[in-house]
Amino acid sequence: MTSTLPPSVDPQRLQEVLDGRWAHVRRDARENLGEPEFAPVYGESMQEARKRVTRMSKKLADSGRVGLGFPKEYGGNDDSGGSVTSIEMLAFGDLSLMVKAGVQWGLFGGAVQLLGTKRHHDAYLRDIMSFDLPGCFAMTETGHGSDVQQLRTTCTYDPETKTFDLHTPHQAARKDYIGNAAEDGRMAVVFAQLISRGRNHGVHAWIVPIRNDDGTPCGGVTIGDDGPKAGLNGVDNGRLTFDHVRVPRENLLDRYGQVAEDGTYTSSIENETRRFFTMLGTLVRGRVSVGGSAGSATKLALDIAVRYGDLRRQFAAPGQDREIVVNDYLVHQRKLLPALATTYALHFAQAELVGTMHDVQYKVHVQGQEIDEDSQRELESRAAGLKVAQTWHATKAIQMCREACGGAGYLQENRLPHLKADTDVFTTFEGDNTVLLQLVAKGLLTGYRDAFGSLDGWGKVGFIADMVRETVLERTAARSLVARLIDAVPGRDDDVPMLDRGWQLKLFEFREKHTLEGAIRRLRKNASTDGMEPFDMFNSVQDHVLRTAQTHIDRIVLEAFVAAIDSATDADAKALLDRVCDLYALSTIEQDKGWFLEHGQLTPTRAKTLTATVNQLLKELRPHMRTLVDAFAIPDAWLACRILEEEEGRQETMAVHDAEVRTGAEGRQASKESATDLEVAPAQ
């Protein structure tokens, strides 16, 4: 299990493992988008940022790199996985540009492509790809962001005029936070309740003109501006209000639901809820892209912090002239290395997810196969879970990197402020993380198979009582490998070496299973408690239920890491990844050691060994820190971090000068303080 770590590993070998199935897309981006103009610009006003990002969007369109995910017959490549990878690569550059691209070609273009039919494709796809038709994805309303099935905008069919009447009944129903709306958008895919013949058929989407050729709003459309945000100020988020706007019947994106001239509604999916979630499900690409982009931003932040930590020195060791490189401090390693290990783990989980997504979407949208509801449901749950894990990890890790770079990390010229501010909303958009965790938990509690059919609320007694979840954990790609490793765990758990992968996997699996079973038990108990309000039945165990989702995601991620190592061919890269995986697994267990102790999975003695083992891993990985970030292969121009360009020279000059002073006539006293004798100054 534990191979010896080679003294050094070629980052190129590691990069090959990381680059994976869409290596060609990554290479293309590094070679052709590796120019400084794709990096963010510092100190811009919101207006300047918006103008630049619009200009760069056009440039991106002209490069032909935005169409990967669109159908071949319209100049695309039917490559859904490639399109997500391409967004992931864009996220190493200016994140406003990435989001703008995501809105235009992912959300807006994706909705036209996946919810629309041939007439919409013919009419719009080419102009969307060329950015001649900038558009919006107008789903979220001020009053409904998470519970979008309850959107309040209505679109009512009038058989007399053969048009729909699109209407915002009150301010809470206005579309809000809509990218491309405040300035550029010419049309919008608008989600609203479809009403025909007095009956509401649930949320559907229409493609609706919002601006005239001269840029003024179309009649009945009011456009507002969300103004300056915490970040992503190059994206023109805005608000849309519709005052009885007439929309032609054919503008309904009617792949999943059609309205005849006389107002008759038809759909191949009878159940309204199931239909809506099938529609949403086809749009999973957006969520996968956000997760991947969060990963890119995290890698970039770690790249900066690790490089800086190898240059920056502070406090001299006893008897040493030069000060200590901050990466040599245990506590600095404790910050950077587990975050780096988690970033690796999430990278491999994302790669697996993108592959699965591509295969599922290829079958349906290119080969025209029926949607396999099980695999789509599972895909959605994975996408939700990994989006949560990656975006929260990004928020934490980038913050940590900012702090690890001290005051320098607070200056825009050193990139971290933009990374922080731009990624902050990733935990909210494409689904609030807490709500997404609940979605994942629901899938686990009911099993994917049941989730479509019986969506009548899990507050209800009958539903909870029926939840015959077998708690046989469905496996990831690493299925048989994981089973083999777990089966091979020798003897009593207390004696197993902590670097035994099987033991690590077993602990992750046990925690998930036990947490899930406990949640089910408590829900059942609540359901059989007389007089308990349906809401309270669920709400009283909400924290437990969400933990279920979290432990599930952790297991998925570890298993993906294990599978990736297994498929790696270079021995050195494999050995290093093995150790990084150990650090991911053990620091994850360490973070939750309270749970493992509480449930008899760790003895107190073993819990102490765990801490010592993590520290030992940090020591072993210290010489490879730089290799681990170099393997991300982020072009220098994208780093856009001034301190990295200057710090090395500064440290060298200081060292030379200090040596002169020590030997010089002036005789500046040698430091009397040791590296560990820390005192700190007030500063402003």
Least distance in angstroms from the C-beta of 257 to a second copy: 15
Does position 317 bind a second copy by CB under 8 A? yes
CA pseudo-torsion sign 591, 597, 598, 600: positive
Least distance in angstroms from the C-beta of 548 to a second copy: 13
The radius of gyration of the chain from alpha carbons, rounded to an integer in Å, stands at: 27
Which CB, 306 or 577, lies closer to a second copy?
306
* 365 residue type, one letter: H
Which CB, 131 or 538, lies closer to a second copy?
538
CA pseudo-torsion sign 140, 142, 147, 151: negative
Residue 167's φ and ψ, nearest 5 degrees, are -145, 140
Tell which one of 37, 329, 467, 493 touches a second copy (CB under 8 A): 329
Tell which one of 137, 344, 503, 638 touches a second copy (CB under 8 A): 137
Quickly tell me which residue has 């320098």 as its tokens. Answer: 408
Binding to a second copy (CB under 8 A) within 26-65 occurs at: 42-43, 45-46
End-to-end C-alpha distance for the chain, whole angstroms: 51
- Residues 470-509: x/- map of binding to a second copy (CB under 8 A)? ----------------------------------------
Least distance in angstroms from the C-beta of 387 to a second copy: 10
Q: Which stretch binds a second copy (CB under 8 A): 24-32, 252-260, 395-403, 504-512?
A: 395-403
Binding to a second copy (CB under 8 A) within 503-542 occurs at: 533-535, 538-540, 542
Residue 158's φ and ψ, nearest 5 degrees, are -120, 105
Which residues touch 225 (CB under 8 Å, ≥6 apart)? 182, 236, 237, 238, 239
Least distance in angstroms from the C-beta of 373 to a second copy: 15
Binding to a second copy (CB under 8 A) within 60-99 occurs at: 99
Tell which one of 277, 308, 561, 632 touches a second copy (CB under 8 A): 277
Binding to a second copy (CB under 8 A) within 557-596 occurs at: 592-596
Give the C-alpha separation, 419 to 412, whole Å. 10
Least distance in angstroms from the C-beta of 471 to a second copy: 20
Does position 323 bind a second copy by CB under 8 A? yes
- Residues 176-205: x/- map of binding to a second copy (CB under 8 A)? xxxxx----------x-x-x--xxx-----
Tokens representing 329 are 């401090």
Does position 222 bind a second copy by CB under 8 A? no
Which CB, 68 or 589, lies closer to a second copy?
589
Which CB, 191 or 632, lies closer to a second copy?
191
How big is the site for a second copy, counted in residues (CB under 8 A)? 155
Binding to a second copy (CB under 8 A) within 355-384 occurs at: 384
Does position 465 bind a second copy by CB under 8 A? no
Does position 310 bind a second copy by CB under 8 A? no
Give the C-alpha separation, 437 to 427, whole Å. 11
The residues facing 195 across adjacent strands are: 156, 200
Least distance in angstroms from the C-beta of 489 to a second copy: 23
Which CB, 472 or 681, lies closer to a second copy?
681
- 581 CB-side CA count, 13 A: 30
Which CB, 111 or 565, lies closer to a second copy?
111
Quick count: other Cβ atoms within 10 Å of Cβ 661? Answer: 14
Least distance in angstroms from the C-beta of 365 to a second copy: 17
Give the C-alpha separation, 145 to 142, whole Å. 7
Which CB, 122 or 673, lies closer to a second copy?
673
Which CB, 262 or 533, lies closer to a second copy?
533
* DSSP-assigned letter for residue 365: I
SS3 of 640, please? coil
* DSSP-assigned letter for residue 412: G
Does position 331 bind a second copy by CB under 8 A? yes
CA dihedral 69, 71, 76, 77 (to 10 degrees): 70
Q: Which stretch binds a second copy (CB under 8 A): 100-108, 204-212, 342-350, 484-492?
A: 100-108
Report which of 243, 241, 264 is spatially closest to residue 254, judged by C-alpha positions: 264
Tell which one of 15, 130, 163, 399 touches a second copy (CB under 8 A): 399
Question: Is residue 266 classed exposed, middle or buried when 0-12, 13-18 and 19+ CB atoms within 10 A define those classes?
Answer: exposed
Which CB, 137 or 242, lies closer to a second copy?
137
Give the C-alpha separation, 608 to 359, whole Å. 44
Which CB, 6 or 594, lies closer to a second copy?
594
Binding to a second copy (CB under 8 A) within 597-616 occurs at: 597-600, 604, 607-608, 615
Cα→Cα distances 2→501, 573, 579, 624, Å: 9, 13, 8, 17
* DSSP-assigned letter for residue 255: S
One DSSP character per residue, 38-107 reads GS--SS--HHHHHHHHHHHHHHHHHTTTT-TTS-GGGT----HHHHHHHHHHHTTS-HHHHHHHIIIIII
Tell which one of 367, 543, 569, 663 touches a second copy (CB under 8 A): 543
Least distance in angstroms from the C-beta of 96 to a second copy: 12
Does position 136 bind a second copy by CB under 8 A? yes
- Residues 639-678: x/- map of binding to a second copy (CB under 8 A)? -------x--xxx-xx--x-------xxxxx-xxxxxxxx
Give the C-alpha separation, 523 to 458, whole Å. 9
Tell which one of 158, 403, 466, 494 touches a second copy (CB under 8 A): 403
Binding to a second copy (CB under 8 A) within 150-179 occurs at: 150, 152, 154, 169-173, 176-179
Residue 441 near residue 345, CB atoms below 8 Å: no
Binding to a second copy (CB under 8 A) within 412-451 occurs at: 412-413, 416-417, 420-421, 424-425, 427-436, 438-439, 442
Tell which one of 458, 510, 561, 584 touches a second copy (CB under 8 A): 458
Report which of 172, 159, 169 is spatially closest to residue 198, judged by C-alpha positions: 159
Give the C-alpha separation, 105 to 275, whole Å. 24
The residues facing 211 across adjacent strands are: 217
Give the C-alpha separation, 408 to 550, whole Å. 34
Cα→Cα distances 190→111, 163, 210, 273, Å: 10, 15, 10, 18
